Structure 1
Amino acid sequence: MKLPVSGRAAAAGAASIVMLLTIGSTAGAAPAPGPAPLAAAPDIPVANVKAHLAQLQSIATANGGNRAHGRAGYKASLDYAKAKLDAAGYTTVVQQFTSSGRTGYNLIADWPGGDTGRVVMAGSHLDSVTAGAGINDNGSGSAAVLELALTVARTGYQPTKHLRFAWWGAEELGMVGSRYYVNNLSSTNRARISGYLNFDMIGSPNPGYFVYDDDPAIEKTFKDYFAGIGVPTEIETEGDGRSDHAPFKNAGVPVGGLFSGADYTKTAAQAAKWGGTAGRAFDRCYHSSCDTSANIDDTALNRNADAAAYAVWTLSS
């Protein structure tokens, strides 16, 4: 998550099937079909998400300690994700742009099928700051979205709507990659996106459970998931408008997402309902060299990844 100007950053219930029983129907007449049930969202294995994080850490370590825009670590991170998606059957596109005199890249992956007139997108920024590996910010969101996309392929999910996943470049410089993507969509293609879901920092070591309130339907979808597992949520305000959902929202696309907290301090009331340590930042390593693979809360990462899957399955069915 990028810093704002001030210096701070941002079940599926089965559908009821109406069985139409025809009394006294002619022999051999078949009952009228009811609507298909919603597909149940799968569990996203947190071990798989952690394996992606380990790869991102290794990439950073091998490339000067970071995965920042215009650096070798960023391109290697993108290449890692692209190879996984290509092997899983996605149609991938690498979108190139320039910012601060360096070349940046977005990775867009489309799952074949579904109504391309109604697109559900899930995305995260893949870049870190130059200070460190960026494993919570935002390896956590990137790894979860990657595993979510791979789970779609592994389960053979065929949604009613079209699914698209994205990994953005240069978010830390001001949502440059996502803004470039949105600005280069035709008005027709922008209108086809029925929802964009953003996942920026979802494994904070002293976590909170924050839900974006930009779109009521998407907000309710996430809240329903967390209510179902008995975890209270709060509206996300720390990084409001400071991550990659902002360009979509500004273009009129419904947006939503999850966030586990950055450098704001967890209050006593928040610690009472979520656990963790009051008086300490949600992420003490925010934008620092200590944002490594040790800077992750597995429980928060697991819950948020499963919530992401629930939202994608629910909103695309």
Structure 2
Amino acid sequence: MSELRHRLCLAVLLSFAASSACADDGVSARWQTQVGDISAHADTRARGDAIGRRLDAVGIAWKREAFEHNGQAGQNLVADLGGPDKAPLLLIGAHYDQVAIGHGATDNASGVAAVLELAQALKAKPLAHHRVQVVFWDLEEKGLLGSSAWVATAGREQPALYVNFDVFGWGDTLWMMAPDSGTPFVASLREASAKEKLGFSPGDKYPPTDHLAFLKAGWPAVSFSLVGSDEIDPILAVFGGGKPAQMPKVMQVIHSPRDTTAELDSARVDDALRVVEQGLRAWDAAAH
């Protein structure tokens, strides 16, 4: 009898482990599929259509919002996840346009797919103290025009926080642009990263991307990338005008013919997205 009970318990444990693995695989599989769907198109409108299909599939209403900035016209995609009435706004975003060369898989379908996964999670289990919107920016590659137009729009609501994603394609480290790395939000992310055994590197040095439009307006903003820990210093060196001994993978891939899904590695995507979600939920709870 005891041996039978042992076998039954073992079977249950194995079944649970298998189901957990499948759940984990689901996030990275969806992320990889979505990156492929977006980066299959060079046309920005078609890339936006791919994003819209994913939002439709998970029941999130969205719209195109046309803008003109610095003499150029584009369309941001805006989705409202709802939340408590009159609560402050959490805004999450990523640019969906690409340069003329390559497929824009790493830069930045990877970041868009990360936002789509977070949107699904926050739709299924809403935050208690914030409303949430997600925005996909156009014309980032032309000088952060989509996000700059958003911030410059008269009467636009200032978010309690803007969270940006750009280059979220591989590696063992969650790299965070944080103007102040001593905040409770960063502390929550650090704790969650330790639990996931994922590298975490917050700081105010970071490549230029859409968070800058918000910071320049005096609005709070952070940004996330998923890269290799050994890439961060060389990336900063490149953007600082230096020439590192070994060019980091990011700089070899983006804005080149190599920017395809072949360069992606989803091994730590699930972990990184769990860390960000846990950090945002802790940030939301602390706001009460």
Which one scores higher on RCO, CA 8 angstroms, separation ≥ 6? 1
Deviation at 1:267, TM superposition (A): 6.6
Alignment match, 1:315: 283
2:169 equivalent to 1:198: no
Distance 1:96 1:221 in 2: 36
The amino acid across from 1:198 in the alignment is N
Question: Equivalent residue of 1:313, what SS?
Answer: helix
Alignment match, 2:150: 181
Deviation at 1:94, TM superposition (A): 1.3
Alignment match, 1:209: 174
Residues 1:282 and 1:235: Cα distance change in structure 2 (over 3 Å) = farther
Distance 2:248 2:193 in 1: 22
The amino acid across from 2:281 in the alignment is W
Higher helix share: 2
The amino acid across from 1:49 in the alignment is W
Unpaired stretches in structure 1, ≥5 consecutive residues: 1-41, 61-65, 67-72, 269-277
Distance 1:305 1:120 in 2: 17
2:161 equivalent to 1:161: no
Deviation at 1:301, TM superposition (A): 2.6
Alignment match, 1:272: none
Alignment match, 2:4: none
Residues 1:198 and 1:266: Cα distance change in structure 2 (over 3 Å) = closer
Offset from partner CA, 1:205-242 (integer Å, 9 cap, x none) = x55431222242433332222122223322356634x1
Residues 1:300 and 1:128: Cα distance change in structure 2 (over 3 Å) = farther
Deviation at 1:175, TM superposition (A): 0.8
User: Identity over the aligned pairs, expressed in percent?
Assistant: 25
Q: In the alignment, is the contact (CA less than 8 A) between 1:126 and 1:169 conserved in 2?
A: yes
2:192 equivalent to 1:247: no
| Two-structure CA RMSD over aligned residues (Å) | 2.8
Distance 2:109 2:189 in 1: 21
Unpaired stretches in structure 2, ≥5 consecutive residues: 1-22, 235-244
Distance 2:227 2:213 in 1: 21
2:26 equivalent to 1:56: no
2:50 equivalent to 1:80: yes
2:97 equivalent to 1:127: yes
The amino acid across from 1:48 in the alignment is R
Question: Equivalent residue of 2:136, what SS?
Answer: strand
Alignment match, 1:228: 195
Alignment match, 1:96: 66
TM superposition score normalised by structure 1: 0.69
Deviation at 1:180, TM superposition (A): 0.5
Residues 1:129 and 1:301: Cα distance change in structure 2 (over 3 Å) = farther
Q: In the alignment, is the contact (CA less than 8 A) between 2:97 and 2:137 conserved in 1?
A: yes
Deviation at 1:162, TM superposition (A): 0.5
Q: 2:254 aligns with which of 286, 298, 305?
A: 286
TM superposition score normalised by structure 2: 0.75
Question: Equivalent residue of 2:212, what SS?
Answer: helix
